[in-house]
Amino acid sequence: MLSLVCAYNNEDKLKSELLSSLKFQKNVKYELILVNTVKENIKSASEALNRGGKQAKGEYIVFLHQDIIFEDDNTLHEIEEYCNSYQFGIAGVAGVNIINKSKDFKVYTNIVHGLKKRPAGMRLDDAVMDAKSLDECLLVIPRKIFEKYQFRYIGNTWHLYGTDYAIQMQEINEKVVIFPIELWHSSPGDSLSADYYDAVIKLAHFCKKERTFYTVFGKWPTNKILLTVKCIYRKLRYYKEGI
């Protein structure tokens, strides 16, 4: 069984997008755990998702956004099949992988996002791919792993909890992978905020053995001075240009 955990702040969007598509899923058994972050006055993704994840009874916990739309009625079944076929610490449907020795990287995914359904990255074939970091729109964690490792607090932010968990899994030599799942994430995929860069700085404290780490929005140095300078620059650019 799958345990679906959704922390939401917009009930109308939750009902019209995630829940309306969930009811057509077949060939799979799942439970749905909803966390109302407005009603519960929750300020961070880590608090919301840990609260929901601790209620899970399924073998695998699927953390997903309120604006995920399953356009194929077998998508959850496909996710469960991948879960049963691979050993991993955390999986996603979009993530970062290094493509050559020069440390260049790209986002790989089969999902589309936004009202115009634009591809969210380089398309995967049918194979599961290793990843350095994961996008947070949909994440899967085996419950036996989650019982030992939860999302760490990286500030009052709704960003980068997938990257945080990927870092945790890499530290204990558990695989971080991308499933080649097709679905629609209705948001445009560019919902940054200034606290993203504060979370990046907190994440760097967990990566001291590495010179760099990756998120879907960039490659980041772990050197404190270099990272601070880059985050200040990116914050200023965000305030000026929104990116």
Q: Which domains does the chain have, with CATH numbers?
A: 2-189 (3.90.550.10)
φ, ψ (nearest 5 deg) of residue 142 = -60, 135
* Least confident among 28-32, 165-169, 211-215: 211-215
**Dihedral angle sign, alpha carbons of residues 111, 116, 119, 120:** negative
| Residue 101 confidence class, pLDDT cut points 50, 70, 90 | low
d(CA 209, CA 226): 16
Q: What's residue 79's pLDDT?
A: 98
User: Which residue intervals of 1-44 are DSSP H helices?
Assistant: 11-13, 20-22
d(CA 5, CA 40): 15
Q: What's residue 102's pLDDT?
A: 57
| Residue 125 confidence class, pLDDT cut points 50, 70, 90 | confident
**Dihedral angle sign, alpha carbons of residues 65, 68, 73, 79:** negative
Comparison of pLDDT for 228 and 210, the residue scoring more: 228
